């Protein structure tokens, strides 16, 4: 087990269970997350006995290995990581004027089978461990001289399908003896596991983005099989009750698929649906990728759609497509896995969750 698989509280329990003073856990956290050591022997202010105890129980250092890196013409960087069992995941660093946002994966593959997403064609391979989530941030931050400012859980996988490891990773990333990232700079995105939205809010404070993508159950059922289990009404109820950090708003994401969810009527339906909710809406023109069957709408269509939804008093932005040329944009991550299943919204998708 990598020591980063423990939450700060679990590390504290381990230390006190060995009869060692609690402040030692804080020292260990600083060595791992702030100084970035790769061996317990480097923790020179710990006794030799404690270092031996830690060595016999845990591994320390990187839990994943860099296997490839691609740079887009717009500056976006996609990192391919190999896991210790040979599986693969991807992370994407999106530089912008004021921030460098790292999009991290929470699973290898994904069970939810959204029909517009390449990861969904891979199927779920396995959950990532906390250390494998945290190391995407620690390693990319190291490669880029500490430049990562924000983290979004919008890479491979449904984060709430791996909620225990997600929360452990978040507790470490926000711990004041660790990287001490502000919860305001971390966003967890979900395709709509309504009961787990509540659970996440009960367990930790972060921003929430809900991948909505349709104004009606009829359309959403066709492109997101999870909607058959948690329809829009249930999803919205859980979402509006989520405790977002102070001065932050709930976010909705809307991937625009030409001829599927981008008509004027869809925009009016969406405006009615979100009207009165304190939220931001991001419109994401679909990023085309083989073998996905959809087309991206014209910019004229996207602007018209935006105009209609704005008329309902909703804050609507069009998300820039970054890293398209390296398959690093939203919905394009597959970590070199071939598609194992055809898209089409199997009713079974998500049933195991
Ligand atoms: S959009 Fe998210 S939840 Fe849906 S298949 Fe892709 S990774 Fe999974």
Pocket test for ligand 1, best of 117, 128, 340 (most atoms within 8 A of CB): 117
Check if 108 has its Cβ closer than 6 Å to any atom of ligand 1: no
Q: Which of 103, 110, 279, 330 is catalytic?
A: 330
Could you count the other beta carbons within 10 Å of the beta carbon of residue 275?
12
Q: Whose alpha carbon is nearest atom 5 of ligand 1? A: 120
Q: If you take atom 7 of ligand 1, which residue's CA is the nearest one? A: 157
Q: Is 271 in the pocket of ligand 1 (CB under 6 A)?
A: no
Provide the percentage of residues in the chain whose pLDDT is more than 70.
96
pLDDT greater than 50 at residue 351:
no
Q: Which one is the CATH code of 72-326: 3.20.20.70, 3.30.365.10, 2.170.120.20, 3.40.50.970?
A: 3.20.20.70
pLDDT at position 117: 93
Based on the residue annotation, tell me whether 330 is a catalytic residue of this protein: yes
- The overall average pLDDT reported for the chain is 93
pLDDT of 344 higher than 90? no
Q: Is 162 in the pocket of ligand 1 (CB under 6 A)?
A: no
Rounded mean pLDDT, 210-234 = 98
Per residue in 99-145, pLDDT tens?
A: 999 999 999 999 999 999 989 999 999 999 999 999 999 999 999 99
Q: Which residues pair with 209 in a beta bridge?
A: 189, 251
Kindly give, in sequence order, each residue whose CB lies less than 8 Å from that of residue 13, ignoring residues fewer than 6 positions away. Answer: none
Secondary structure tally for the chain: helices H, strands E = 11, 12
CA of 38 to the centre of ligand 1 (A): 33
Mean pLDDT of 223-247: 96
pTM metric for this prediction: 0.94
Q: What is the pLDDT of residue 353?
A: 53
CB of 110 closer than 6 A to ligand 1? yes
In the predicted structure, residue 215 carries a pLDDT above the cut 80: yes
From the CA of 27, how far away is ligand 1's center (Å)? 38
Residue 342 has pLDDT above 80, yes or no: no
Q: How do residues 267-276 score in pLDDT, each as one tens digit?
A: 999 999 999 9
Q: Ligand 1 centroid to 342 CA: how many Å?
A: 14
Q: Which of 69, 90, 103, 199 is catalytic?
A: 90
CA nearest ligand 1 atom 4, residue:
114
The Cα 12–Cα 290 span in angstroms is 48
Mean pLDDT of 181-195: 96
| Active-site residue, 114 included | no
C-alpha span between 312 and 289 (Å, rounded): 32
- What is the fold of 3-57? DNA polymerase; domain 1 (1.10.150)
Where exactly does CATH 3.20.20.70 map onto the chain?
72-326
Interval between CA 67 and ligand 1 midpoint (Å): 23
Domain with CATH 1.10.150.530 in the chain: 3-57
Q: Is 335 left (phi over 0), alpha (psi -120 to 50) or beta?
A: left
Phi–psi pair at 348, nearest 5 degrees: -75, -20
Instruction: Please give the share of the chain, as a percent, with pLDDT higher than 90.
Output: 84
pLDDT bin (cut points 50, 70, 90) of residue 341 is low
User: From ligand 1's centre to the CA of 257, what distance in Å?
Assistant: 15
pLDDT-derived band at 337 (thresholds 50, 70, 90) equals confident
Question: How many angstroms separate the alpha carbon of residue 114 from the centre of ligand 1?
Answer: 6
Q: What is the pLDDT of residues 89-105, one digit of tens each?
A: 999 999 998 899 999 99
Ligand 1 atom closest to the CA of 190, numbered from 1: 3
Average pLDDT, integer, range 256-262: 98
């Amino acid at each position: 087990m990598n020591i980063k698989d423990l939450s700060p509280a679990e590390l504290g329990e381990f230390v006190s269970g060995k009869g060692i003073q609690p402040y030692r856990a804080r020292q260990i956290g600083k060595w791992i997350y702030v100084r970035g050591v790769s061996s317990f022997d480097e923790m020179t202010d710990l006794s030799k006995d404690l270092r031996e105890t830690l060595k016999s129980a845990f591994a320390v250092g990187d839990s994943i290995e860099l296997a490839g890196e691609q740079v887009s013409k717009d500056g976006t960087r996609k990192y391919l990581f190999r896991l210790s069992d040979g599986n693969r995941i991807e992370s994407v660093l999106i530089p912008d004027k004021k921030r460098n946002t790292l999009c991290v994966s929470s699973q290898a593959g994904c069970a939810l089978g959204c029909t517009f997403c390449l990861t969904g064609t891979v199927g779920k391979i396995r959950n990532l461990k906390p250390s494998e989530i945290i190391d995407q941030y620690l390693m990319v931050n190291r490669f880029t001289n500490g430049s990562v400012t924000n983290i979004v859980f919008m890479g491979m996988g449904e984060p709430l399908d791996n909620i225990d490891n997600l929360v452990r990773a978040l507790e470490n990333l926000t711990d004041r003896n660790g990287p001490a990232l502000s919860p305001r700079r971390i966003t967890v995105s979900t395709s709509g596991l309504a009961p787990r939205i509540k659970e996440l809010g009960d367990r930790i404070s972060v921003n929430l983005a809900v991948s909505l993508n349709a104004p009606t159950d009829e359309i959403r059922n066709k492109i997101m099989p999870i909607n058959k289990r948690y329809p829009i009404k249930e999803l919205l109820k859980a979402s509006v009750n989520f405790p977002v950090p102070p001065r932050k708003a709930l976010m909705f994401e809307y991937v625009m698929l030409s001829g599927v969810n981008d008509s004027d009527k869809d925009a009016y339906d969406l405006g009615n649906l979100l009207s009165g909710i304190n939220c931001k809406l991001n419109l994401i023109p679909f990023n085309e990728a083989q073998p996905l069957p959809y087309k991206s709408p014209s910019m004229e269509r996207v602007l018209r759609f935006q105009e209609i939804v704005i008329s309902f008093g909703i804050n609507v932005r069009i998300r820039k497509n970054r890293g398209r040329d390296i398959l690093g944009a939203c919905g394009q991550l597959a970590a070199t896995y071939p598609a194992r299943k055809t898209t089409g919204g199997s009713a079974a998708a998500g049933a195991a969750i």
